[in-house]
C-alpha cells in the first residue's frame, strides 16, 4: 500500500488511483447466471437439489430447515454468544424503531385531502452467505427491521455446510429474529428460488442481502425480469475510507483499514491524511497488525488494490471522499461532527477515534447493509423504510374538483390526452357529455 502526495498528482493520476477494482461481472458470468435462473424457473426444487449437489457437494433430501431445528439452535447457544447477539439485536431494534413512518395528511385546497400511509412489503427474502465465516450479523440487519415492519412472509436462504446443515449460529440468529422459513440453498440458485418461487421456496417481492459475484449478478437479473423480484440495492466489494489528521492514532487507523481488507481480496481501503508522518506510521502499523490476522492472505490481496494519500487539509480530504462516495467513512480527526456536516456522499460515517467501523457492523444499532462501489452518491443503506412501501391517497369533494378542474383539463389538453380531460368534464359539466 503506497503513499501518494495528492497535490503532486495530475488529475488523471488522481482519478486512476481512486478507481475501484474492476467488477467481476463478465459475459460468461452473466450467461451462466441466466442459465441457472432459467433452470430453477422451469424445474423448481429438482434443479435446486441438483445444483446443491454439484456446487456445494451436498446431497439433500429436502430444502427447508424444520422450525424446531431453528429453535433448537437458539437453545443450544453458548450463553455469552447469545448475550452478544441479543445486545446487538436490541440496539438495532432501538435505532430502527425510531424510523417508523408517520401518516402524512394535508388539505392542498378546500375540498381536497391528500394523504400517505406506509404498508409492509408482503413477502421478503433474505440471502445470508456461507463461505469461510457465518454472518449472523447480516441476519440481524435484515431480520430486525423486517420484524418491526411486520412483513407477513419472511424467507431466509443460506448455503448448507458439508454436513448438509446451515451454520447453527445463523439458525439461532434467525430464531432470535422470529424467522422460521429457512432454506438450505445458496448461490444464484437461491436468488432464483426466492424471485420465482419453487415447490418449497415461496416467491418473494423483494430480496435483501450480500453475496459473491454470482449472487450479485443473479440479483441484478431478477430485478430486471418481468416475473422476478425487487432488490435492496446495487452491490459491490466492501470498502472503507479513513480521514486522519496529525492527532490520529496510527494503530486505530491501521486496524480500521484491516477490518475491511479482510472481507475479501476485491475489497478496497483508502487512507487520506493531512500528515505524512501519520500516513507512514499508519502503514507501519498496518504491516505489523497484518501478520496477526488469520485472514492475512486475503487482506494482503485487498491492500494491493488500496491507496494512501497525503492531502493539504481536511477540506481537501472531504472533497475527495465525496467524489469517491465510500461505503464506510471514518473520521479520525479533531471536531469530526463539524466536518461531518459538510459531507454529501457516504453509506455510513464513524465519528472520532473511538468509533470503529466494526461497531456499526455488529452492535451500535445502525444497519451495515450499505451501498458500495460509489452507489452512495444516490443510494442509502438499509433502513426500516426499505421493508415498507408508501401509498398515496386523495379524496376530492365536488367543490374540490371544481377548484382544480380547469387546470387539470388544460394540462390534459396540452398533453393531448382527451380521456384525461373528459374524466373531469363529465363530472363538472354532465350536460356536455
Residue boundaries of the structural domains of the chain? 3-20+236-365, 27-108+120-231, 397-432
> Above 80 in pLDDT, residue 24?
no
CA-to-CA distance for 233 and 379, rounded, in angstroms? Answer: 7
Quote the pLDDT of residue 325: 97
Name the CATH superfamily, with its identifier, for domain 27-108+120-231: Nitrogenase molybdenum iron protein domain (3.40.50.1980)
> From edge to edge, which strands make up the β-sheet containing 239-244?
3-5, 307-310, 268-273, 239-244, 328-332, 348-351
Q: What is the pLDDT of residue 431?
A: 84
Range 125-148 average pLDDT:
92
**Is residue 32 classed exposed, middle or buried when 0-12, 13-18 and 19+ CB atoms within 10 A define those classes?**
middle
Beta pairing partners, 158: 184
Q: Which of 26-30, 73-77, 99-103, 128-132 has the lowest mean pLDDT?
A: 128-132
Give the orientation angle of helix 27-43 with respect to helix 213-223, to 10 degrees.
Answer: 70
The pLDDT, as a whole number, for residue 128 is: 96
pLDDT, averaged across the chain: 95
Question: For this structure, is 78 an active site residue?
Answer: no
Provide the grid cell at 94: 432501538
State the catalytic residue, choosing from 217, 239, 262, 327.
327
CB 158 within 8 A of CB 182: yes
Q: What is the pLDDT of residues 170-222, one digit of tens each?
A: 999 999 999 999 999 999 999 999 999 999 999 999 999 998 889 999 999 99
Q: Quickly state the pLDDT bin for 393 (edges 50, 70, 90).
A: very high
pLDDT at position 383 over 80: yes
Q: Is pLDDT at 263 greater than 80 in this prediction?
A: yes
Closest CA to 291 of 243, 242, 256, 258: 258
Same fold, 3-20+236-365 and 27-108+120-231: yes
**Which residue's entry shows cell 426466492?**
194
Distance CA 254, CA 256 (A): 5
Class for the domain spanning 3-20+236-365: alpha beta
Phi first, then psi: give them for residue 274, nearest 5 degrees.
-85, -5
Q: Which of 264, 268, 270, 220 is nearest to 242 (CA)?
A: 270
Which tens digit of pLDDT belongs to each residue from 265-321? Answer: 889 999 999 999 999 999 999 999 999 999 999 999 999 889 999 999 999 999 999
Enter the DSSP assignment of 416: T
Any idea which residue has 443450544 for its cell? 76
- DSSP result, 95-112: HHHTTPPPPEEEEEETTE
User: Of 96, 147, 263, 328, which is the active-site residue?
Assistant: 328
pLDDT at 133: 72
- 328 is known as an active-site residue: yes
pLDDT at 132: 66
Amino acid at each position: 500500500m503506497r503513499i501518494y502526495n495528492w497535490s503532486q498528482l495530475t488529475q488523471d493520476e488522481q482519478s486512476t488511483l481512486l478507481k475501484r477494482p474492476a467488477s467481476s461481472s463478465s459475459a460468461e458470468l452473466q450467461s451462466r447466471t441466466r442459465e441457472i435462473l432459467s433452470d430453477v424457473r422451469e424445474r423448481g426444487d429438482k434443479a435446486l437439489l441438483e445444483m446443491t449437489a454439484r456446487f456445494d457437494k451436498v446431497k439433500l433430501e429436502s430444502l427447508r430447515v424444520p422450525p424446531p431445528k431453528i429453535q433448537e439452535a437458539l437453545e443450544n447457544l453458548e450463553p455469552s454468544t447469545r448475550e452478544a447477539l441479543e445486545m446487538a439485536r436490541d440496539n438495532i431494534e432501538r435505532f430502527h424503531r425510531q424510523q417508523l413512518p408517520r401518516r402524512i395528511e394535508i388539505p392542498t385546497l378546500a375540498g381536497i385531502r391528500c394523504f400517505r400511509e406506509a404498508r409492509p412489503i408482503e413477502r421478503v427474502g433474505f440471502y445470508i452467505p456461507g463461505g469461510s465465516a457465518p454472518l449472523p450479523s447480516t441476519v440481524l440487519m435484515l431480520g430486525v427491521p423486517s420484524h418491526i415492519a411486520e412483513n407477513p412472509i419472511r424467507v431466509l436462504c443460506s448455503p448448507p455446510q458439508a454436513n448438509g446443515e446451515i451454520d447453527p449460529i445463523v439458525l439461532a440468529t434467525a430464531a432470535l429474529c422470529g424467522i422460521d422459513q429457512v432454506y438450505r440453498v445458496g448461490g444464484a440458485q437461491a436468488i432464483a428460488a426466492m424471485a420465482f418461487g419453487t415447490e418449497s421456496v415461496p416467491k418473494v417481492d423483494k430480496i435483501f442481502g450480500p453475496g459473491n459475484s454470482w449472487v450479485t449478478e443473479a440479483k441484478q437479473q431478477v430485478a430486471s425480469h418481468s416475473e422476478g423480484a425487487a432488490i435492496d440495492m446495487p452491490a459491490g466489494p466492501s470498502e472503507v475510507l479513513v480521514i486522519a489528521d496529525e492527532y490520529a492514532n496510527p494503530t486505530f487507523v491501521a486496524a480500521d483499514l484491516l477490518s475491511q481488507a479482510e472481507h475479501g481480496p476485491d475489497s478496497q481501503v483508502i487512507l487520506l491524511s493531512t500528515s505524512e508522518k501519520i500516513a507512514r506510521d499508519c502503514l507501519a502499523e498496518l504491516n505489523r497488525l497484518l501478520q496477526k490476522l488469520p485472514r492475512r492472505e486475503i487482506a494482503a490481496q485487498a491492500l494491493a488494490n488500496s491507496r494512501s494519500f497525503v492531502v493539504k487539509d481536511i477540506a481537501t480530504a472531504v472533497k475527495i471522499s465525496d467524489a469517491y462516495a465510500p461505503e464506510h467513512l471514518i473520521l479520525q480527526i479533531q471536531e469530526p461532527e463539524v466536518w461531518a456536516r459538510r459531507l454529501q456522499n457516504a453509506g455510513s460515517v464513524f465519528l472520532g477515534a473511538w468509533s470503529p467501523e466494526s461497531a456499526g457492523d455488529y452492535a451500535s444499532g445502525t444497519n451495515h447493509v450499505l451501498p458500495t462501489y460509489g452507489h452512495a452518491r444516490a443510494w442509502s443503506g438499509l433502513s426500516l423504510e426499505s421493508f415498507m412501501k408508501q401509498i398515496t391517497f386523495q379524496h376530492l369533494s365536488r367543490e374540490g374538483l371544481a377548484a382544480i378542474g380547469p387546470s387539470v383539463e388544460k394540462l390534459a389538453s396540452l398533453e393531448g390526452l382527451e380521456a384525461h380531460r373528459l374524466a373531469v368534464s363529465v363530472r363538472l359539466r354532465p350536460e356536455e357529455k
